[in-house]
Structure 1
Amino acid sequence: MASIRARLVNLALPLLGVKRFFSQPDKLAERIARMRRQRPVRPQAKWHKRFDIREFSSRGYPVVTIEPRGGARPGAPHLLYLHGGGYVMDIAALHWDTVVDLCERLGASATVPLYPLAPEAKAAGTLDQMRALYLELAERYGADNLTVMGDSAGGGMTLALAQMLKSEGAPLPGSLVLYSPWLDATGKAEGQHEIEPRDRMLAVSGLEACGAMYRGELPAEDPRVSPLFGDLDGLPPMAIFSGTADIILLVDGRRLAHRLGEPGMPDHIYREYADMFHVWMLLPVPEAMQARAETVDFIREHRKAE
C-alpha cells in the first residue's frame, strides 16, 4: 500500500491540471503557446549554495551543468538527464530537485539539456541534437562513466537515443534509467482506452496529439518516437520504474520489461510500485526516496570504470 503522503498527493493530482491538459487535445496548441511565453524554471537558489550550476547556450538551446562544489567524487558517474513533459512541456522544478538529489547521493555531476520542444522541433532533429551532446559528454567523461536517464517522454527519448547510438556503432553509456517511460506513441496498446477514465494524470488522446506534434513526418511506430518497437539487443543495462496507478503508461514499462526478460537481452531491473502514479519518482514522497536509492545502487553496480 502507498504511504499516507503518496495517497494524499494522488488525491491532489487533478488540481495540477495535467489531466485536463492531456484530455483536451483540441486546446493543446493554445495552451502550448501560452506556456512558451514563460521562461523555463531553473534550479532553486538553495542548490547554488552546494553546487556549481552553469548554463550554456552555444548549441542553440540551453544546457545546464551541475557539479558538487569542490568537484565530483572520484569515480562518480556523470548523468545526462532528459526531462519529461510529453515532448511539448518545459522542464519543471521537480526535475531539478530530482537531478540534484541524485547528484548529491552519488557525488556526481550532471548535464541537463533544455532540448527544443514540439511542435516547433521534431523528433529526428531533437534526437540528432541529443546524440551530438551525448558524444561530446562521452569524449569528456568516457562513455562507460555516463548514465543516461529520463522520465516519461524523457524516458522514451533515453531509450531511443541509446538505440540510435547502438545502431551506428557509437560508444554506449554505462547504464540507462527510465522513470515512468513513455515508449509507445501509437496509442494502440491493449486496454489503454478502457482504463483512461481511471487515470488521474494522463489521457490517450492527449498523448497521441503530443506524439504527433513530436514525430512530424515519422510514422508513430518509428522507434525514434516509439522505442518499444526498436532493437533492444546489445543495449546497456537499464533500470525501469513504474507505478500501478500510472494506468496508461504502466503498460509501456511492463511490455519493455517483458521483452528484456527474453534470453540474450541486456541486464535490467524492473521495479513496479503498488498504487503509485505517473512520475512519482520526482515527488517528495517516501516511495520516491526509495526509488532514487535503488537508482543510485543500480548506477553504482553498473559502473564499468570502477
Structure 2
Amino acid sequence: MSRQQRDALDALLRSAPRSETRPTPEEQRSGFAAAVGRPATEGVVTRGTVLGGRPALELEPAAASGRGRLLYLHGGGYVVGSPDTHAGLVGELARRAELRTVSVDYRLAPEHPFPAAVDDGLAAYRELLVDTDPRDLVLAGDSAGGGLSIATLLAARDAGLPQPAAVVLFSPWVDLTLTGGSIRSKEDADPLFVEADLRDYADLYLGTTDPAHPLASPLFADLTGLPPLLVQAGANEVLLDDAVRLAGRAGADDVEVTLEVGPGLPHVFQHHYGRLDEADAALDRAARFLRTRLGLTTRR
C-alpha cells in the first residue's frame, strides 16, 4: 500500500481549519457535509424512502441480487451527518457487496438526545424484518453509527427480535465515557479529533444520561447473542481503543469477531476510497465478509 497516499491524506486532513469557538450544530452539519460528502458512485441508483418512520435513502447497485439487504447507520457523533453525506461511502460498500441498501436518517442531537437514535435504529430494523428474513439481512455503520449499530441490535435482542447475519463496523465509537487510552496516546497521530471534540459530541447526545449506559456506550453491554462482527479501524485515531476493546468484549461474550487495524490510517479511512489503496482494500474485505455471511457467492 502507498505510504505517499497515507501521508498526503494526513496532511490534507490536518490542513482543515479549526474554529477557536465551538460552532453551532447547524454550522457543524454544514461543515461536515462539505468536508465528507461524496455522491453515490456511478451504477448505484439512489431514491428517497421512509423506514421506521424516518426518512431514508435507498441505494441499489446495478448488480444487486434478489437476496440480501444492508441496513446502514451513518456516523457523525450523533450530531452531524446524514444518508446524503454518506452516500458515497455507503454506495461503494453496497456496490462491492452487490446488496440493496437503505441508509436511515435517524434523529440527531441536541434536538433529539439519547435514546432517540437508538429508537430510530430499532424501528428501522424492526420494519425491515417484516419482509426480510433475518438471515438475509446485514448491518453496517461508521463511527457513532458503528456504536448505534451495536446498540440497535442490543435493543432488538432485548425486544425478542432475531439477529441479522452479520455486522460491519468502521472505526466504531462505543465508549462515551471516553476512557480509552488511545484518546490521549493517539492525540498527536490523529489528524481529525482531540478529546474535547468527542466530549462535546457526547455531551450533546447524552444530555442527563449516564455515559456508561449500555445503549449509549455498548462497550459496557453484554454482547451475548450478537452476530459475527467485522471491525475495521485505523492506527492513527483516538478511537482506536474503542475498536480494540469492543472486539475483546465481543470475544469474551462468545461473539465471533474479526478486528483489522490499518497502520498509519485515520478515523473512517474508508471514506477515501478511490484515492487511498487501503480504503479500497478494506471495503472489498467488508463486502466479502457480508456476502460470505449471507451465503452469497463472493466475486472479489
TM bin (shorter chain): 0.7 to 0.9
1:31 aligns with 2:24: yes
Superposition RMSD in Å: 2.6
1:117 aligns with 2:108: yes
- Tell me the residue number matched to 1:73: 65
Deviations 1:81-118 (A, max 9, x none): 11111111123866211211222222211101122111
Offset at residue 140 of structure 1 (A): 2.1
Query: Following superposition of structure 1 onto structure 2, how do residues 150-229 of structure 1 map, counting pairs within 5 Å?
Result: 150-190=141-181, 192-229=183-220
- Tell me the residue number matched to 1:252: 242
Offset at residue 220 of structure 1 (A): 0.3
**Are the counterparts in 2 of residues 228 and 256 from structure 1 also a CA contact under 8 Å?**
yes
Offset at residue 195 of structure 1 (A): 3.8
- Tell me the residue number matched to 1:233: 224
- Tell me the residue number matched to 1:96: 87
Amino acid of the residue matched to residue 32 of structure 1? P
**Are the counterparts in 1 of residues 33 and 85 from structure 2 also a CA contact under 8 Å?**
no
Aligned-residue sequence identity (percent) comes to 29
Offset at residue 46 of structure 1 (A): 6.0
Offset at residue 174 of structure 1 (A): 0.9
Q: Distance in 2 between matches of 1:60 and 1:302?
A: 28
- The structure 2 residue matched to 1:267, chosen from 241, 256, 267, is 256
Q: Structure 1 278/39 Cα, relative in aligned 2: closer, same or farther at 3 Å?
A: closer
**Are the counterparts in 1 of residues 117 and 148 from structure 2 also a CA contact under 8 Å?**
no
Q: How many residues align?
A: 293
Deviations 1:136-189 (A, max 9, x none): 112222222111111111111111111111122211111111101111011222
**1:123 aligned counterpart, secondary structure:** coil
Offset at residue 37 of structure 1 (A): 7.0
Deviations 1:49-97 (A, max 9, x none): x33321135866421111235x73133x211111111111123866211
**2:202 aligned counterpart, secondary structure:** helix
**Are the counterparts in 1 of residues 53 and 123 from structure 2 also a CA contact under 8 Å?**
no
Q: Distance in 1 between matches of 2:271 and 2:163?
A: 26
Q: Distance in 1 between matches of 2:91 and 2:5?
A: 22
- The structure 1 residue matched to 2:39, chosen from 34, 44, 48, is 44
Scaled by the length of structure 1, the TM-score of the pair is 0.86
Q: Distance in 1 between matches of 2:136 and 2:258?
A: 19
**2:196 aligned counterpart, secondary structure:** helix
Q: Distance in 1 between matches of 2:213 and 2:147?
A: 12
**Are the counterparts in 2 of residues 235 and 266 from structure 1 also a CA contact under 8 Å?**
yes
Amino acid of the residue matched to residue 74 of structure 1? G
Q: Distance in 1 between matches of 2:41 and 2:243?
A: 34
Q: Distance in 1 between matches of 2:165 and 2:90?
A: 18
Q: Structure 1 39/237 Cα, relative in aligned 2: closer, same or farther at 3 Å?
A: closer
**Are the counterparts in 1 of residues 97 and 288 from structure 2 also a CA contact under 8 Å?**
no
Q: Distance in 1 between matches of 2:95 and 2:200?
A: 37
Q: Structure 1 249/267 Cα, relative in aligned 2: closer, same or farther at 3 Å?
A: same
**Are the counterparts in 2 of residues 243 and 277 from structure 1 also a CA contact under 8 Å?**
yes
Q: Distance in 2 between matches of 1:231 and 1:45?
A: 36
**Are the counterparts in 1 of residues 167 and 230 from structure 2 also a CA contact under 8 Å?**
yes
Scaled by the length of structure 2, the TM-score of the pair is 0.88
Q: Distance in 2 between matches of 1:92 and 1:124?
A: 19
Q: Which has the higher helix share?
A: 1
Deviations 1:3-35 (A, max 9, x none): 321221012112234xx36xx6xx43x331334
Q: Structure 1 196/143 Cα, relative in aligned 2: closer, same or farther at 3 Å?
A: same
